[in-house]
Amino acid sequence: MSRPPRAPSEAVIEVRGLGNRFGSQSIHENLDLDLYRGEILAVVGGSGSGKSVLLRSIVGLRKPNEGSVRVFGQDLRSLPEQARSQVERRFGVLFQMGALFSSLTVSENVALPLIEHAGLSRRDAEHLAAVKLALAGLPLSAANKYPASLSGGMIKRAALARALALDPDILFLDEPTAGLDPIGAAAFDQLILTLRDALGLSVFLVTHDLDTLYTITDRVAVLAHKRVLVADAIDRVAETEDPWIHEYFHGPRGRAALDAVTPHKEG
């Protein structure tokens, strides 16, 4: 069975009528989605359904062709640049491959947004970076290493520490467990759950990892037919009448993920 649902709360992100096109190719049409305060929302969908495009549209890295994105009640597209930048500073983003600067150490990667956006001195920024690295579960010995010398799991944690640098209210994660072994992926899932509970984060998570879905999410949104087909607790999503949903949740991997979190009766 899935995790018990959290009590409903206010929407911190409201996407309405979103449309995204690349030339003549339409990715999203009239897409609606909410992220509620304190929840972990996972977005899933088939290849080409536009999961990462949706994330980039929300965080301001892509201007959608139609629709609105309201964050904390403000329409980002209508805000002046400086006001929009202030809202976007409340985002922390972990990109799919980490996107660390290869020429900077781990500590310098995490300190950079603190210097650039918070105006801290290098010394203060690196001191605070050490705190963020500890929050992300990295040992102090990793601080002076370069990304090329890190394992995949350590890169994910270093990128998470950078995403947490400015004390965000909303954490965006793009395929955070991709490429990790099952033990590393499970540990990362539990870290996200712990951080959400400890820091009061709202988490927008793009993933295809069924174990993640069943272990830590409050709701799952399925992208299909260029829109959000359903957004609900995973048990209800899994029972939605749709061929892709049925294959995804009721295929061999879906059944294995469900069995892993379902208490088995003895005898």
Q: What is the mean pLDDT of each run of 10 residues along the chain (267 residues)?
A: 58 95 93 96 92 92 92 87 85 84 92 89 93 91 92 90 94 91 92 94 94 95 94 94 90 62 48
pLDDT for 261 equals 60
Residue 75, token pair as written in the block: 């329409």
Whether 172 contacts 94, CB under 8 Å = yes
* Annotated domain spans of the chain: 38-65+90-261
Q: Domain 38-65+90-261's class?
A: alpha beta
The tokens 């400015």 sit on which residue? 166
SS3 125: helix
Q: Which stretches does DSSP call E strand in the chain?
A: 11-22, 25-36, 40-45, 66-71, 74-75, 91-94, 170-174, 202-206, 219-224, 227-232
User: Cα dist. 155→12, 143, 162 in Å?
Assistant: 29, 12, 11
C-alpha–C-alpha distance, residues 143 and 86, integer Å: 28
> Residue 47: what pLDDT?
86
Quick check: 235 and 1 in contact, CB under 8 A? yes
**What was the pLDDT predicted at 131?**
94
